[in-house]
Chains A and B, each alone.
Chain A
Amino acid sequence: MAGVEKPTMAVNIVAADRPVWSGKARSVTIPASEGGMGILPNHEPVLTVIKSGTVTVVDPEGTRQSFKVDNGFIAFDSNKLTVAVDRGSVVTAEPEDSDALAS
């Protein structure tokens, strides 16, 4: 990927009984209680309740990863996103992402 380095943030997805995933991400989409919510790096600090659904993480290489989650909340501060859920599991990790190639 040429051009300007995109900003990233640290993401931590933890379920009640184990950590699910952690790493860097370019953007994250979460199923907030009032509809989907996208979070980009340097978002303002926010604490949001999320419902069951899918958390999608786009990592610095443009890989899109999905996680199935159940009830929880996210906390974002100092460029660190914590997704804490009752249950969580990795659904897919797609290596190819058209958005990333286009950019």
Chain B
Amino acid sequence: MRATQDRVAPADAGECAAILAQAGAEGRMVGIGGGLTKHYLGDAASLDIELRTTSIAGIVDHVPADLTVTVAAGTRFADLRAALARAGQFLPIDTPHADDATIGGVIAANANGFWRARYGGVRDLLIGTRVALTDGTVIRSGGRVVKNVAGYDLNKLFVGSFGTLGVIVEATFKVLPIPAAEAGLIARFGTASDAFNAAAIIARAPARAEAVVVERQPDGWGLVVSARGDDKTVARAVADARHAAGSSAESAAVGDRLALARELPARAVEGALVRVALPLASQTAFAEAAARRDTFRELVADASSAVHRVHLIGEDDAVAEDAGALVANARAAGGTGRIERRSARLSERLRTWPDAPLGETLMRRLKTQFDPAGILEPGRSPG
């Protein structure tokens, strides 16, 4: 799907920008990769150059007392996590593919996990970027401060842009101290509506949980809650969650189960994986309808942010029909969706974005402004 001729791994931002400029001048198509964990994103496109950011790596600056860290984009997320942990801090993004993903890839794919409602998503935690553009320049946006309104917030433009506007070479994030205490809770429900109603109460409770996840199980619907913070706040969060979840609730270590749920994109090799973002109150209806599809295999919902992933497996025709129907359901509910992953066989017939996104005309104009030759990630531009 992404056959390439040349592989390059620039050593620094300047070299990266020079490669882009030359590729632009020659009209050669560039694919961008870090850990290549999310290679499945986007539509098929032939590439002339595969640019790896992995040599642009390392912690640039970590000021624990400021709760900020600046890191080169090719740094593995796991390496950043280890470095921050040595100072008792963490970057509160529980990104999928956390072992091998790079920082640049997490930003470019807006790869949030279940913690978004508690700590904010990539867009909320990212306070500065350096990006190599196809005109050969390296631009800086934001900075190392937590509040900043000087000029346009270009950080936001690059989050989730899949490398279609430029190559992120450096990022600065807000970080937090690692909380002292943690606890987990699981519960089971007969209906989706009971599960999501309990989840909604927990997500709005004063001692805010870190993750509130609903899963479809063979015999019903499961709820997984984790909380971190100081002892008293965690105790309160669990007590409130237990109250909301009712008789089936029990304390449990939930780390492994959440990790398994989070890594659904890594497991969904066969069939298709649909990812949707919904208005909070539309979750029950969406999840029930998803579970009724013939090709339904698995559903994992970040119930506090209303981001659902549905894995479909079966005959190609049936999977394609169901996937399209789920994205349409999300749109009809006022949400949005994409085919996040699908088997090679399905990639011809299932486009990543079945419909044009809102604001498509503006997106095309931005793409033309930043990448006039249209060389960056040709298969990953929405619309």
Partners in one complex: no
